[in-house]
Amino acid sequence: IRYVDWLIPGILAMNMMFSALFGIGYVIVRYRKNGVLKRLKATPLSALEFLTAQIASRLWLIMAITTFVFAGTNLFVDFAMFGSWLDLFIIFTLGTISMISLGLLIAARLSSEELAAGLLNLISWPMIFLSGVWFSLEGSPPVIQQLAQLLPLTHLIDGARAIMIDGANLIDIAPQLGILALMSTIFIAVGAASFRWE
């Protein structure tokens, strides 16, 4: 397998992570700072409904961007896809939801754009190096491998690589799907419970 073939799933997942975290987390904080959320508070809209709507709206935008990035990349490297496009769509969708949910959780109570940017960077950059975007973690110390399992990006990349390179199906990546679903549920629940309109 070429290194570029191994790298592409990680690059796509990294692009999704940045788009999700900064595209939603930073925006929510700006909404709060500008008083948009305060006005929405006067409506019957609940925090959970608002967060769910944000996830849905951002999801399709990120998936569209990822599709264009992959199509453009494929023009130059001629990537060979071995798995199902539907399976890849499912793992990408679930992975994106988990990333958006994490961004919403981070922004649930913040009102400072500077603090939000700092926290988002603090979370995103370690994820890049600990999730296997650029290199495999197989030879790394056990503590690093265990820490990587706590990151949604790790499971998104593992699932995407299994489908795109190894031709795996949804049953093969059931652990990754389950973990991403669990993380998404926890992030959304905690984010909705701690959400501050003002």
Question: Which residue reads 């190096």 in tokens?
Answer: 129
113: containing domain: 3-194
Q: At what angle do helices 113-130 and 152-166 cross, to 10 degrees?
A: 40
pLDDT of 87-122, one tens digit each? 999 999 999 999 999 999 998 888 888 888 889 889
Predicted local confidence at residue 3, as pLDDT: 86
Q: Give me the pLDDT at residue 23, please.
A: 85
Question: Does 182 have pLDDT greater than 90?
Answer: yes
Contact 132, 157 (CB under 8 A): yes
Average pLDDT over residues 17-25: 89
Number of domains making up the chain: 1
Rounded Cα distance, 126 and 14, in Å? 12
Q: What is the pLDDT averaged over residues 25-38? A: 87
Residue 164, judged by CB atoms within 10 A of its CB (0-12, 13-18, 19+), counts as: buried
Q: pLDDT band at residue 31, thresholds of 50, 70 and 90?
A: confident
Q: Where are the alpha helices (DSSP H) in the chain?
A: 3-20, 26-34, 36-41, 47-77, 85-107, 113-130, 142-148, 152-166, 174-194
First-to-last alpha carbon distance for the chain, in angstroms, is 51
